[in-house]
Structure 1
Amino acid sequence: MKKASSAYSQLTANDIDRIVEMGWEDRTPFEAIELQFGLNEAAVIELMRQQMKPSSFRMWRKRMQGRSTKHASLRSAAVTRFKCSRQRSISMNKISKR
């Protein structure tokens, strides 16, 4: 991970890791990140740009363009939660390696 700028100095390394993880998740809207960490969509994009390799950032931005699940206002009214029902509980931000 790259060092975060002073604008994000109040965030811990674990917070930054979780924000990047939530940014990659298709079903986690930017509004959930803002609610939890206080970063709006533009701030999340800036943080992702800082934390990722340029090619990975371009791939992520291409995936996020027009994705309705990343914006609560574009989601179907039937979706009422941020977490996928198939998602396992993750403790300490550890993801099992397969």
Structure 2
Amino acid sequence: MASFVIEAPGEAMPLQHTTIAQTLHSAASSNQQQLQSATKQLQRWETEPGYYVHLLRVFLERNQYPVEVRYLAIIQIKNGIDKYWRKTAAK
């Protein structure tokens, strides 16, 4: 299992689809600590520029990422549309 560092808000490190994919992989984990940490990180990234583009890229790269990671990416996109992009969205 790959280990990774969760990006803290305000860090200079630009958001990358590989980092998002690793976080999605942790969000699919049966380990509760990994799942909670990854979920919180994904929530922090929701308003970052380019986040949804990177999610789409993870989803479209069929040969590079497992199906559960790709499905979580597309679910994040759907949830983001509901939360941020609808006319009736609060944010």
TM-score range (shorter-chain normalised) is 0.3 to 0.5
Give the structure with the larger helix fraction: 2
Larger Rg over CA atoms: 1
- Structure with higher RCO (Cα < 8 A, 6+ apart): 1
